[in-house]
């Protein structure tokens, strides 16, 4: 577990002083991309739930058709719901590598779990149930890690894509600091999935989102160069990098023959890599707008079969981080809804708030909100500015 970061005694009391002119992605562009991450994930989820584990025979564009009475058309599934749980904590600016931050995430996971019948991956279900029955005096995060460790020791089957499916929001938690982002991803992932493969896949994926959101290149047409799934491999232990390079390279070279079983962390990320490669190849032949690229990528995810809601959600968030909220098809956004009674606009605010909070910290976030009627007002007042490069936000 990483230690808490030191506080910065030099922080200003004025919210607008947390913004400056800079040479990286302008604030308005970065805000549009961050705002799209959860929305993109939810769109992919809602498109994929109706096709999950069915024979992959889809032709054309998938529809938001719900899931066998469990989810209505346009309703996002449990992967996005758990991503929202993380976002509700991250948006405060709290450090997710600390026990305080992880306790908050664990507590939110448990509250969600007890809120009704949930269709979730086996490791997460067992861990949440075991944690719920733990009457010891340990703090929530420690209870959850203990349950996860026991499940892994007993089964050796905790490399599923469950934690990967909900980690898109973690790519926004410390957007100016890739190492800190990776530490946050590992810490949250290990609450439910002990197998290093699960957290390694999550680190790679979250870093791709962080890099895309902060990329200085403007314009939707540059999405093809902005989204780089392999960049996060450098954040893994040295001994693990070659294997991941091989796995992702294999996925790109055989994009036309994706993994049959995409329910594991490695194969799920390979499926995403193959889809990204396929869409980039199509773009090279006939340039695709951001909106068209999003539709094509989510359609390919559904066509794979298997865990279609997971893969489409991963693809949706990844492409959204590169094209921005404005390029996610409006007809998909307007139909979105889901637990806990939210729509697309709330998800976009969570994404933006998480990105801002990770830079300015909890106190800075409170000042920013107090200085404007909404975060969007603040962005509108400084569209060409850049968030101050603070890498030690207050807890």
What domains sit in the chain, N to C, each tagged with a CATH number?
Answer: 15-233+242-387 (1.10.4080.10)
299 dihedral zone (left: phi>0; alpha: psi -120 to 50; beta): alpha
Q: In angstroms, rounded to a whole number, what is the distance separating the alpha carbons of residues 92 and 354?
A: 7
The reported pLDDT for the residue numbered 373 is: 52
pLDDT tens digits for range 248-276: 999 999 998 888 899 999 999 999 999 99
The reported pLDDT for the residue numbered 55 is: 64
- pLDDT(8) > 80: no
The reported pLDDT for the residue numbered 361 is: 72
Stronger pLDDT, 316 or 7, i.e. the higher one: 316
**Residue with token string 């991941």:** 244
Q: Would you place residue 381 in the very low, low, confident or very high pLDDT band (cuts 50, 70, 90)?
A: low
The reported pLDDT for the residue numbered 17 is: 40
Tell which residue, 300, 338, 361, has the closest CA to residue 83. Answer: 338
Tell which residue, 166, 250, 271, has the closest CA to residue 209. Answer: 166
Which of 90-99, 117-126, 205-214 is least confident? 117-126
Mean pLDDT calculated for residue range 121-133: 94
DSSP 98: S
Binding site annotation covers 309?
Answer: yes
Strand blocks (E) in 19-93: 19-20
Q: Which phi and psi angles does 90 have, rounded to 5°?
A: -65, -30
The reported pLDDT for the residue numbered 14 is: 32
Stronger pLDDT, 80 or 55, i.e. the higher one: 80
Cα distances from 296 to residues 35, 102, 151, 171, 221, in angstroms, run 21, 36, 38, 23, 15
The reported pLDDT for the residue numbered 343 is: 98
pLDDT tens digits for range 162-180: 999 999 999 999 998 999 9
Task: Give residues with Cβ within 8 angstroms of 130, minimum separation 6.
Answer: 147, 150, 151
Binding site annotation covers 334?
Answer: no
The terminus-to-terminus CA distance of the chain in angstroms comes to 16
Q: Write the burial class of residue 133 (CB in 10 Å: 0-12 exposed, 13-18 middle, 19+ buried).
A: exposed
- pLDDT(23) > 50: no
The reported pLDDT for the residue numbered 393 is: 42
Mean pLDDT calculated for residue range 59-88: 90
Whether residue 192 contacts residue 123, with contact meaning beta carbons closer than 8 Å, is answered with yes
Mean pLDDT calculated for residue range 225-241: 96
The reported pLDDT for the residue numbered 38 is: 99
The reported pLDDT for the residue numbered 56 is: 61
The reported pLDDT for the residue numbered 383 is: 54
Whether residue 88 contacts residue 341, with contact meaning beta carbons closer than 8 Å, is answered with no
The reported pLDDT for the residue numbered 382 is: 53
pLDDT tens digits for range 323-374: 999 999 999 999 999 999 999 999 999 999 999 888 777 777 667 666 655 5
Whether residue 24 contacts residue 386, with contact meaning beta carbons closer than 8 Å, is answered with yes
């Amino acid at each position: 577990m990483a230690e808490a970061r030191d506080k910065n005694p030099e922080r200003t009391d004025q919210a607008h002083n947390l913004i400056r002119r800079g040479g990286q992605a302008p604030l308005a562009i970065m805000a549009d991309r961050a705002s799209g991450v959860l929305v993109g994930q939810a769109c992919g989820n809602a498109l994929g739930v109706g096709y999950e584990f069915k024979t992959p025979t889809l032709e054309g564009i998938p529809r938001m058709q719900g899931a066998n009475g469990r989810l209505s058309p346009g309703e996002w599934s449990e992967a996005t719901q758990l991503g929202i749980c993380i976002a509700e904590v991250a948006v405060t600016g709290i450090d997710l590598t600390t026990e305080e931050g992880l306790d908050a995430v664990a507590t939110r996971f448990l509250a969600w779990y007890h809120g009704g019948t949930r269709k979730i991956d086996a490791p997460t279900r067992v861990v949440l149930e075991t944690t719920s029955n733990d009457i010891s005096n340990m703090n929530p995060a420690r209870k959850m890690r203990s349950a996860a460790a026991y499940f892994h020791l007993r089964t050796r089957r905790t490399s599923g894509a469950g934690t990967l499916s909900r980690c898109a929001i973690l790519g926004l938690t410390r957007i100016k600091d890739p190492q800190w982002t990776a530490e946050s991803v590992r810490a949250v992932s290990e609450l439910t999935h002990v197998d290093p493969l699960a957290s390694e896949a999550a680190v790679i994926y979250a870093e791709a989102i962080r890099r895309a959101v902060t990329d200085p290149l403007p314009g939707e047409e540059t999405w093809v160069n902005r989204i780089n799934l392999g960049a996060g491999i450098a954040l893994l232990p040295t001994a693990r990098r070659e294997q991941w390079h091989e796995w992702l390279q294999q996925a790109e070279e055989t994009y036309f023959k994706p993994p049959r079983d995409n329910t594991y962390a490695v194969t799920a990320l390979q499926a995403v890599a193959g889809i990204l490669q396929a869409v980039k190849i199509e773009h090279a032949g006939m340039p695709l707008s951001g909106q068209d690229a999003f539709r094509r990528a989510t359609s390919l995810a559904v066509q794979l079969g298997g865990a279609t809601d997971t893969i489409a959600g991963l693809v949706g968030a990844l492409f959204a981080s590169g094209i921005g909220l404005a390029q996610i098809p409006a007809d998909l956004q307007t139909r979105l809804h889901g637990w806990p009674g939210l729509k697309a606009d709330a998800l976009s605010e969570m994404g933006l708030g998480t990105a801002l909070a990770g830079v300015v910290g909890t106190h800075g976030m409170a000042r920013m909100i107090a200085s404007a009627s909404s975060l969007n007002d603040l962005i509108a007042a400084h569209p060409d500015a850049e968030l101050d490069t603070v890498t030690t936000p207050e807890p």
